[in-house]
Amino acid sequence: MSHNHGTAYTIWFSGAVCLVCSIFVCLSAVMLKDRQEVNRQLDKQKNVLLAAGLARGDEELSNADVQQRFASIRPVVVELKTGRELPDVDASTFDMRGAQADEATSSRAPDNPAKVLRVPHNGIVYQVMEGGRTVKLVLPVSGKGLWSTLHGFLAIDADTTTVKGVSFYEHSETPGLGGEVENPNWTAGWVGRRLFDDNWLPVFQVKKGTAGSAAEDPHHVDGLSGATLTCKGVTALVNFWIGENGYGPYLKNFREGGK
């Protein structure tokens, strides 16, 4: 037995199916939005913990673990140009990447090798606290590699020059080549390196080839073979964000005790 329906019925039926499906998609997008935001926040916190050495990449952390470890971290918003802390700005909801993309809350960056186009007026600093003292500062860093913009966190000792850790959490470099920026064996080699020279100029460099030990070759880390262009980008983005157009003024205030 076959049913023949008219064209109008077919159109009506397809329209009804489309409508039901689109309502379903819209509802799930709206209902999941809060959860996605929570997950994004947790992911960011986890990466701050990784850079700060408060979590390992191979550790399975529950949401509660992340929150518990993050309790020792004090996020603070700072005005990048002056390096002043802005205690009245709520750091828990501050979206630095959003601020960087928005012309109202950012300025054009001077030409720079990290190809950072805009700098937000304000940035976030994650202060790692121990016994009421700030022992490390974790700064967000970003800039162009070969194919993509890399985003990561750089943890620095309270001396404002010694690297305590680094984590890259977003990029589209080639897995096995530039993608090795995520490899914990490579990032472990950053610990103990120094970002600034004796005159507080940023001189950090990912070398082409192998660096010496942190004691003999404090300003360099090993290059990634077959990924020289990604490494150049990493060198440039670190020096940009610790420099005068990034967190330089904040780091200066911090080490001089005027935070």
Ligand X SMILES: Cc1cc2nc3c(=O)[nH]c(=O)nc-3n(C[C@H](O)[C@H](O)[C@H](O)COP(=O)(O)O)c2cc1C
Query: Site residues (CB under 6 A) for ligand X?
Result: 146-147, 173-174, 177-178, 225-230
Q: How far apart are CA 97 and CA 65, in angstroms?
A: 25
Nearest CB to ligand X, comparing residues 96 and 141: 141
Q: Specify the DSSP element, H or E, that contains 12.
A: helix 7-52
Q: What's phi and psi for 199, nearest 5 deg?
A: -100, 15
Q: How many CB atoms lie within 10 A of CB 45?
A: 20
Q: Minimum distance from CB of 115 to ligand X (Å)?
A: 14
Nearest CB to ligand X, comparing residues 55 and 227: 227
Q: Minimum distance from CB of 166 to ligand X (Å)?
A: 17
Identity of the residue numbered 138: V
DSSP string for residues in 84-117: EE-TTS-TTT--HHHHHH-GGGEEEPPP-TT---
Nearest CB to ligand X, comparing residues 121 and 207: 207
Q: Minimum distance from CB of 167 to ligand X (Å)?
A: 18
Q: Minimum distance from CB of 176 to ligand X (Å)?
A: 8
Maximal C-alpha separation, the chain: 90
Nearest CB to ligand X, comparing residues 73 and 146: 146
Nearest CB to ligand X, comparing residues 136 and 151: 151
Residue whose beta carbon is closest to ligand X: 178
Q: Minimum distance from CB of 58 to ligand X (Å)?
A: 23
Q: How far apart are CA 173 and CA 204, in angstroms?
A: 21
